[in-house]
Structure 1
């Protein structure tokens, strides 16, 4: 199986100062087969007004792709914040540029975000998690402009609760519908290795949910670190790949111009 990092942020994202060239050098050091840059674009982040400079971002990654073409395969992508209040703008942006790969993530729900805690005000943990998964289902039903759903358990990172963990059994019917919708649409999920930092034991989503996705019929899957600093590029990617093979996956998925590349069966 290939070892990839398909979720990386650089200085083109508002929450990173990383030099993309340093990401490439670290990926080579980690013996990765392929990487994809996926800097942020959210149309309604209530506190931060940063807007991705797509043209400069594209030219920078294309230059790196040429420079390192004999050492590592580099792809150009984006992490788009799926937001039902901005469906037209999101679809227009993705259609406008030749992205290799698009992560669709839920960062904002009805003008409230998770990072600074606005979303969690006056909600119990169960109410917050229920709303998060319900909104995720609505987004994967409504949007077609992405390749994989980003960090399904993203909600775990935040919230003013002593125990932030998700009791998946309470929401399994919704999560199963998310998986079934993705599979029907020919889309997949990612395993986001930042979960090892936050949960200490696994990625987002956890491997029980990845197994469930596989058992339902899901075969499109990527691995990404969600790295915002170069030292985290490739972190735990090999560990995840080994676990995916145990679950039954033949290979991770890679993309060119949003079309899934032919997979190598090991």
Structure 2
């Protein structure tokens, strides 16, 4: 069976030092059929620091420059590359609904094969990576979660991308790091509405396997929500490691495929020129 990895980061992401050449060599070594480079592009911090006011919830800015460096490099490498692994020029578009003009600019870039839509940060809050929830009240926890899932719905209905990345990203920090285990089933109908919007627009979701190697113990999202997407009629499913190091490329992809099968999927997808191509997993 052909394996793919459709969510990875290189030296062009603010939180990765992985040389792009090493990443491509690792994808080739693993014999990946398709390998997507999806460096970070946080739309709400597109411009340099001086563009924003005093009250900001970020330590990193200038993602427009990062985007251009990544996409230019991958586009050039694709044209020169002669190996067997299909290299996909992608981006991880964060918070597109916070800056819809930037999201539209990204979506119009014809160099891109693939756009994953991410929500790392809700309005008036820092990225969940920075939010220490250990001493939060129950009401505060569920307020954050409700705002997160409402913004997921907003993002799914207002900006253009191909696949929703790592639904339940917030649990990576709430549950794994801070030891809080909220019941997110109270948001199931809101999640279902987001899935319906994606399906109507011919979009997909991702099974992100990073939680397995990082100690969370499951993917983002887990089987329950992968199955919900399938039961609602979802057909497009990608799988990504969310690797930030060359050695993590391809990690636990087969376990992600096991979840896909258990959810009722018989194929997984990668994208070329924003069009899905399918690989059977039967």
Task: Work out whether the TM-score is over 0.5.
Answer: yes
Conserved? CA contact 1:77–1:102, under 8 Å: yes
- Structure 1 pair 166–100 and aligned structure 2 pair: CA distance change class (3 A): farther
Give the distance between the partners of 2:182 and 2:114, measured in 1 at CA.
28
Provide, for residues 169-212 of structure 1, a one-character-per-residue CA deviation record: whole Å limited to 9, x for no partner: 11111111111111111111000111213454321000111011
1:71 match: 84
Aligned to 2:94: 81
Q: Distance in 2 between matches of 1:48 and 1:200?
A: 26
Indicate the larger mover: 204-213 or 155-164: 155-164
Counterpart Cα distance in 2 of 1:69 and 1:252? 24
Deviates most, 246-255 or 204-213: 246-255
- More deviation, 88-97/56-65: 56-65
Residue 112 of structure 1 corresponds to: 125
Report how many aligned residue pairs link the two structures: 265
Q: Which runs of 5+ in 1 are unaligned?
A: none
Structure 1 counterpart of 2:43 = 43
Unaligned regions of 5+ residues in structure 2, if any? 46-57
Taking structure 1 as the reference length, what is the TM-score of the superposition?
0.90
How far apart, CA to CA, are the structure 2 residues paired with 1:71 and 1:78? 22
Are 2:257 and 1:241 equivalent residues in the alignment?
A: yes
Given the alignment, which residue of 178, 185, 198 partners 1:182?
198
RMSD: 2.4
**Residue 126 to residue 77, structure 1, CA distance change in 2 (3 Å):** same
The 3 A distance-change label for structure 1 pair 243 and 85 is: closer
TM-score normalized by structure 2? 0.85
Partner of 2:11: 11
